[in-house]
A and B are shown apart, each in its own frame.
Chain A
Amino acid sequence: MAIAAESIGGTPNPNKSFGTILEVRDVVVKFGGIVALDRVSFDVPEGLIVGMIGPNGAGKTTLFNCLSRLYEVDEGDILFDGQSILRNQKHQISQLGIGRTFQNLALFASMSVLDNILVGAHSGSRSDFFSDAVRLPWVLRENRLSHARARDLISTLDLEEVAHIPVAALPFGTQKRVELARALVSRPRLLLLDEPASGLNHKEVDLFASLIRTIRDQNNLSILLVEHHMGLVMKVSDRVVALDFGRKIAEGTPAEVQANDSVIEAYLGTVN
């Protein structure tokens, strides 16, 4: 992986020898007079974990919401697997192979852990209401497959004890794992994680770091990770993109970005 990261170098590789799963091209997003994203460009190479850092209000979550088609892009383009996603509607994104988690949890509160994860399988299945209602054999088969995949993730993410409990009753850290399982069950090729470590304690963050890497390796995933927790970003990311006030201020390996003056300035303020 280290070799892969290095050979791609600092600038996007035009030959795409490694394949680029996500290309963000000069994206501009404006809210009224405020420019939330100002010509942001970067790539997520296939199979790598890209961390996105930046102070509050830097535009990280805005960018995520553009990738999920929750926000409209004013200028620029976003390509997934070489195809623009801007003509897709928000419910079509997961079917393309982009899964995500949310910053402040967006689970289905009344549903059990298992059912939450099964909703994640919605885009990968196709049963219609009539076939569901009369239990046609192919629907039952499809349902068994979804259940089997959900069960696998439940055991991978250590959720067996709570599988049938409504998610609203669970601790925050557990709910975060449910969100991860829900995003993974549709077998995405790109996973968007929005602050997965927020609200977790130190021990949980360490566990999470190794979990993310394991998941990536097992599922052949690419991951774009937004995170405030520097330790986690630097530990798990192959590459890091830094944003500040809607602009990309640095990009490179974790070590490069950590040493970058603009990044230090953005986080610590100007040294007088």
Chain B
Amino acid sequence: MAVDTIEEKLATRHAQSQLEAKLAFYKRIGLIGLIIFAVALPFLVSDFRTFQFTRVLYISIAVLGLNILSGYNGQFSLGHGAFIALGAYVAAIMMDRWGVPYYLTIIPAGLIGFIFGFLIGLPARRLEGLYLALATFGLALATPQILKKFEIITMGVQGIVVDKPEVPFGLPISQDQWLYFFTLMILLVLFWAARNLLRARTGRAFVAIRDHHMAAESMGVNAGFYKPLAFAIGGAYAGVAGALATITIQFVAPDSFGVFLSITLLVGSVIGGIASIGGAIFGGIAIVFIPNVAEEISKAAPWAIYGVILILFMYAMPSGIMGFINMLWRGYVKRLLTRT
């Protein structure tokens, strides 16, 4: 390493911190721009499209939960749809049976997802990688039939229909628009919480366990607690997503929570960028819109097109859309650095 004078060192450090401040400013502007766009979106498109974007939002919440569990903590789950089912039924039963207003079902659905997630996470501690994926796949397989079996609670195959939420405070918007904003608010809170969590002690413990289990424990991280905790948080996010699904679609039935839902979530997670927060949004977009696009391209064989799109995505962006964006961003920063 070349020996710089102190003045040179200070000068480069000053330039660096200026650059960092500038980049942080750009990022903040970009984020505010995105939020403004998200708020404006339902006024720019039809009610049906708004409904689709509401689905994107709550699916993104579930994908974020999966990202925390699989991307940050390294525990692969092929059964995350089970937690969505749980939250969806908690909300449906509360609204239909007990007449609870829709907005009061979100927190119970999250809490029950959290508790159930923690309980599933306890035996999962003994399973690594593929074995855990298989065990959780079993969870996904069992979910629809369990829901059908407990007919007294879940109404079996017939499902539960709930009322569409009214627009509150006499706001001059449609019901679909209101649902979109309701979901968006919850998404913003949960994404903010995830970002805080992942940047703090808990998030570092999650990643440390993923990167080097033994070293993490030697640093004082109790993996026996943090691994089920990651499951619990993933379960809570999926539970909230499930409740929002019930409220948005106003209907739950066992067959919407099968194996395909769980696999789709993992697909969305990987396409978006599994160890990222922002990637969850792209994952949600991919999950909702790729089947649409596929169907528009070929009515006869949409799944063939779906498959081809997946292959192309993985080929072009092996670390997901967020990984791709980060790569472009790093390239930009590097160019700025060489210019100064």
Binding site for B on A (CB under 8 A): 68, 70, 89-95, 100, 102, 106-111, 115, 118-125, 127-129, 132-135, 139, 142-143, 146, 182, 186
Contacts and interface: CB of A to CB of B under 8 A. Distances in A.
Interface stretch (B27-35, B141-149, B197-205): B197-205
Contacts, number: 101
A111 B204 contact: yes
Interface in B198-248: 200-205, 207-208, 210-212, 214-224, 229, 233
7 contacts: A110-B211, A110-B275, A119-B216, A122-B221, A123-B220, A127-B202, A129-B229
Interface residues of B, number: 29
A109 B211 CA distance: 6
B219 A123 contact: yes
Contact of A143 (B200, B214, B223): B200
A143 B203 CA distance: 13
A122 B222 CA distance: 10
B202 A132 contact: yes
B197 A133 contact: yes
Contact of A107 (B193, B194, B201, B212): B212
Contacts of A134: 193, 196
A108 B208 contact: yes
Given A91-B221, A94-B219, A129 B208 contact: no
Given A125-B201, A146-B201, 20 more contacts: A70-B214, A70-B218, A90-B218, A91-B218, A91-B221, A91-B223, A93-B218, A94-B218, A95-B220, A102-B215, A106-B215, A109-B211, A115-B204, A119-B219, A129-B229, A133-B193, A133-B194, A135-B196, A143-B200, A143-B201
B218 A122 contact: no
Contacts of A139: 200-201
A134 B189 CA distance: 9
Contact of B219 (A89, A120, A133): A120
A142 B194 CA distance: 19
Nearest to A179: B215
Contact of A128 (B196, B202, B204, B218): B202
A186 B220 contact: yes
Given A122-B201, A143-B200, A109 B212 contact: yes
Interface string B245-279: 00000000000000000000000000000010000
Given A94-B220, A129-B197, A122 B215 contact: no
Interface string B155-178: 000000000000000000000000
A109 B233 CA distance: 24
A122 B203 contact: no
A151 to B, nearest CB: 13
Contacts of B219: 94, 119-120, 122-123, 182, 186
Nearest to B195: A133
A171 to B, nearest CB: 11
Nearest to B198: A132
Contacts of B229: 129
Those 6 A-B pairs whose CB atoms lie nearest each other, nearest first: A123-B220, A106-B215, A132-B200, A108-B211, A94-B220, A133-B193
A111 B220 contact: no
Contact of A119 (B221, B224, B233, B275): B221
